[in-house]
Amino acid sequence: MPTGDAGPGVAAPPAGTPDEGAARDRLDRLFLLQRQASRTIRPPEPRARRTRLEQLERVLRAEARAIHDAISADFGHRAWLETVLAELLPVLEGSRFARRHLFRWTRPRPRRLGLAFQPGRAWTMPQPLGCVGIVSPWNYPLFLSVGPLVDALAAGNRVLLKPSEQSPRFSALLGRLLARVFTEDEVAVVEGGPAISRHFCSLPFDHLAFTGSTATGRAVARAAAENLTPLTLELGGKSPAILCTDRLTPTGMRRTARVLAVSKFFNAGQTCVAPDYVLVPADAVEAFADHLLAETARLFPVLAGNPDYTTLPAGPHLARLERMVAEAEAGGAVLRRTPAHAMEAGMALSERRFPPTIVLSPPLDSALMREEIFGPVLPLLPYRSEEEAVGFINARPRPLALYCFTDDRRREASLIRRTLSGGVAVNGALLQAGIPDLPFGGVGESGQGSWHGEAGFRRFSHDRPVYRPGAFSGFTTMTPPHGRLADRLLPLMLGRRR
């Protein structure tokens, strides 16, 4: 069970090797250790949870450069600022946010009682689920492992982490860093290949959180179902962007193209919430493609040796993108690249840098439009009316994100109301996934459940209901033999007069 967001990556060790056997034994030992501790040791108080989060932040800040170097080595090359902006800062901000609000989140919350249950008092109290498993992918290995870890720790859980086998250097470093802050019965990292991932997902965790592809998410759900393990699935899919007609001025198209170029080609398109295709008014497709290319040239004047442009990981991912683009072109699509990128494409590809590519009107039955692209390729599709654009989106699986580009508030509200996606950004992209106070999650084939901030705290907690009746209870008063008192009270309880 690979854990990447799209397609397999570097080859894993063969099944049944001694290393794999040792990893499995260690996984079983750690799981039993944490499960037993969650059943016998009192959950940490909010003050202790805050202290641990603060210690975690301190380690991450101190080792920021080492973290980036490990991630960059696993990728082949990744820009330093991409690691800082997309991984370190969101994790640190999420942890600080949890610390600031933790005491409020952990307070019991009173609940209202109807007349039938009066007098009395009812409330809910959040309690940790116990032992939580987190399976994270390679594309954002810090954010997508430590992000849910922060939420699970804020809720008072013990956590086992299984990072992707495609990020081995980062996984080893993460295990060492977390061991500075936590004991093995609190938090631990398990390394290993697909067989270890399969075994990990088959364990009876109190909750299992998985981030990765939709196809792998199905396999995770099947494994978890054997134990009725509750799941949070953060998957992917094809997140659409809509360029509305009020933005067809040169300024409007330029502003939209800037956002889409930055968000699509960030991390070389290897982002689960990256725009996967753009719906463009039919008479503006060529002009908008020109604006996209101009913004792309501004971001990346050259590709080969460019320290700001991230590579693809080793493995078949590069060949997969080449096949998808070639199939679309053979089906009648038009490929657009900047002149500089077109000239140096061969050299860039030899460095595993796939050139930013705009694809005009790819066939709808091509892999480019069936599968999540997960690379720096952006299809543009023409539409003739807002109804057609909405119908196109709604006829496909629910996306993880929807991006709407308009300055018309009524059109914005209409598009949001008439579509359904995990999240929405208006005149922006990607950033909604990093805001601590916004729940992040998919719907349907793009996932189930949300995390980040209070949503993550609630996801990894059980909101336990408690009811305490008063000295007098209408229910116990209404016992047989029934008489006049019951006749008088019953209409009141039903909400009507006799």
Q: What is the pLDDT of residues 446-491, one digit of tens each?
A: 999 999 999 999 999 999 999 998 877 666 666 787 777 777 777 7
The secondary structure element, H or E, covering residue 458 is helix 453-459
- 174: its two tokens: 């993460």
Q: What is the pLDDT of residue 27?
A: 96
CA distance 225 to 233: 13
Q: What is the pLDDT of residue 491?
A: 77
Q: Do 282 and 317 meet the contact criterion of CB atoms below 8 Å apart?
A: no
Q: What is the pLDDT of residue 268?
A: 95
Q: What is the pLDDT of residue 7?
A: 38
User: What sign does the CA torsion over 83, 84, 90, 91 have?
Assistant: positive
Which residues are marked as active site? 234
CA distance 253 to 472: 69
The correct CATH number of 18-235 out of 3.40.50.150, 3.40.605.10, 3.40.50.1370, 3.90.950.20 is 3.40.605.10
CA distances from 361 to 248, 254, 358 (A): 18, 20, 10
Q: Do 442 and 398 meet the contact criterion of CB atoms below 8 Å apart?
A: yes
Question: CA gyration radius for the chain?
Answer: 26
Q: What is the pLDDT of residue 14?
A: 39
Summarised one tens digit per residue, pLDDT across range 293-341 is 999 999 999 999 999 999 998 888 999 999 999 999 999 999 999 999 9
Q: What is the pLDDT of residue 116?
A: 73
Q: What is the pLDDT of residue 496?
A: 58
Residue environment code for 40-64, b if the CB has 16+ CB neighbours within 10 A, otherwise e: eeeebebeebbebbeebbebbeebb
Summarised one tens digit per residue, pLDDT across range 248-292 is 999 999 999 999 999 999 999 999 999 999 999 999 999 999 999
Task: Identify the CA nearest to 253 among candidates 275, 271, 278.
Answer: 278
Helix spans in 107-249 (H):
143-154, 168-181, 194-202, 214-225
Helix spans in 182-239 (H):
194-202, 214-225
CA distance 76 to 298: 24
CA distance 404 to 411: 9
Report phi then psi at 449, rounded to 5. Answer: 85, 160
Residues of the chain with pLDDT under 70: 1-18, 473-478, 493, 496-498
Give the type of residue at 301.
P
CA distances from 416 to 263, 278, 405 (A): 20, 16, 12
User: What sign does the CA torsion over 138, 140, 146, 148 have?
Assistant: negative
Give the type of residue at 189.
V
Q: What is the pTM of this model?
A: 0.91
Domain limits of the chain? 18-235, 239-433
The correct CATH number of 239-433 out of 3.40.309.10, 2.40.50.140, 3.20.20.70, 3.30.2320.80 is 3.40.309.10
